């Protein structure tokens, strides 16, 4: 049974109005947004680790500069998103504490290792490709600060995707050994990328409510299908093979039939049992602890300035 306030809120959503931080909102709407935006912010920050791993080993100075810029962009995305979450009444410190305590998630994809330089191509091509597929519709999400953060993030993400594809072109069109590395990277990143869209619609607990609040615009399976349809021709262009022997064009649905990822692997990764979960979380906790003196110094300086101003 909806209250009068809830009904009026739903009507605003249905009319396509943006909800702003000072507007009345149901507690569930606030909570869902804090969960999703917070998880998204954490993903950007943790997502720096697999690529950061290759900054010192990029094959040329140009590649190094480009990768450095991309990884810095992810940090920026994390910060816009933490700010968007803060407008809902939670602090960045609280969110980070929840992440470090294992009580908040970040995207499953960042629990896989980047073993070769071709993996950096695959991350840009597939992981940023999947991220954009999910984030373009989120520009129209109902919560104003989230939707505005998405507009800027999407512009930068498309550059990221192009740089990844450019690496793949070089590798796939290079020596037989480089081509083999590109194929190997696609083999390992294909299914984890499909998992980024979340569980199948049948298993998605939040989709129905999030879609009626227009926090989400599409279902997980809709976006996964669009991603496959967009990416398969790109793999063909690269001369690479998508590691799915069930993959087949389906004229009737005007899209590809494809194999589902191994969902038991997905749920294991969510539980903390993926190949790099421990390493990623340890790296974030260490960075937080090592940075304590900087935060303390800034706070001490801010306190002194306040005293000086009010004296």
| Site for ligand FAQ, rule CB under 6 A | 35-36, 39-40, 43-44, 47, 74, 105, 107-108, 123, 127-128, 131, 134, 195-199, 204-207, 210, 216, 220, 270
| Angstrom distance (rounded) from CA 83 to CA 143 | 13
Closest CA to 87 of 8, 23, 44: 23
Minimum distance of ligand FAQ from residue 248's CB (angstroms): 25
Which of residues 108 and 183 has its CB atom nearest to ligand FAQ in the complex? 108
Shortest distance in whole angstroms from residue 211 CB to ligand FAQ: 9
**Other Cβ atoms closer than 10 A to 190:** 21
Minimum gap (Å) between residue 127 Cβ and ligand FAQ: 5
Using Cβ positions, the residue closest to ligand FAQ within the complex turns out to be 47
Cα-trace Rg, the chain: 21
Which tokens in the block code for residue 4? Answer: 């009068």
Alpha-carbon distance of 174 to 155, in angstroms, equals: 29
Shortest Cβ distance from residue 153 to ligand FAQ (Å)? 8
Q: Closer to ligand FAQ by CB, 32 or 183: give it.
A: 32
Sign of CA dihedral 103, 107, 112, 113: negative
Least separation in angstroms between CB 108 and ligand FAQ: 4
Closest to ligand FAQ by CB, 8 vs 75, is 75
Retrieve residue 240's tokens: 């690479």
255 contacts: CB under 8 Å, gap ≥ 6? 225, 228, 229
What are the CA-CA distances from residue 181 to residues 102, 129, 169, 284 (Å)? 34, 20, 12, 29
In whole angstroms, the minimum distance from the beta carbon of 260 to ligand FAQ comes to: 14
Distances (CA, A) of 145 to 19, 39, 64, 81, 87: 9, 16, 33, 9, 8
Residue 161 CB, nearest distance to ligand FAQ (Å)? Answer: 9
C-beta closer to ligand FAQ: residue 21 or 137: 137
């Amino acid at each position: 049974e909806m209250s009068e306030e809830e009904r009026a809120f739903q009507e605003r959503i249905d009319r396509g109005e943006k909800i702003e931080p000072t507007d009345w909102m149901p507690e569930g709407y606030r909570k869902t947004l804090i969960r999703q935006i917070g998880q998204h912010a954490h993903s950007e920050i943790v997502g720096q680790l697999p690529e950061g791993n290759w900054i010192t080993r990029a094959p040329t100075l140009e590649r190094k500069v480009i990768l450095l810029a991309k990884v810095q962009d992810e940090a920026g995305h994390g910060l816009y998103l933490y700010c968007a979450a803060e407008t809902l009444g939670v602090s960045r410190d609280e969110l980070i504490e929840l992440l470090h305590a294992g009580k908040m998630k970040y995207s499953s994809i960042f629990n896989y290792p980047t073993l070769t330089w071709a993996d950096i191509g695959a991350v840009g091509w597939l992981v940023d490709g999947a991220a954009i597929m999910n984030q373009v519709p989120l520009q129209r999400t109902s919560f104003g600060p989230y939707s505005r953060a998405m507009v800027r993030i999407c512009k930068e993400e498309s550059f990221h995707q192009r740089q990844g594809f450019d690496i793949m072109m070089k590798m796939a069109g290079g020596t037989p050994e480089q081509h083999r590395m590109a194929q190997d990277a696609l083999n390992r990143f294909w299914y984890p990328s499909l998992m980024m869209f979340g569980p199948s619609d049948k298993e998605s607990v939040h989709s129905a409510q999030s879609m009626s609040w227009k926090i989400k615009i599409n279902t997980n399976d809709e976006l996964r299908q669009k991603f496959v349809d967009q990416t398969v021709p790109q793999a063909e262009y690269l001369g690479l093979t998508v590691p799915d022997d069930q993959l087949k064009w389906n004229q009737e649905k005007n899209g590809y039939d494809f194999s589902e990822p191994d969902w038991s692997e997905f749920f294991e990764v969510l539980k903390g049992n993926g190949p790099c979960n421990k390493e990623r979380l340890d790296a974030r906790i260490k960075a937080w602890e090592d940075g304590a003196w900087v935060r303390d110094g800034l706070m001490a300086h801010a306190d002194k300035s306040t005293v000086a101003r009010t004296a």
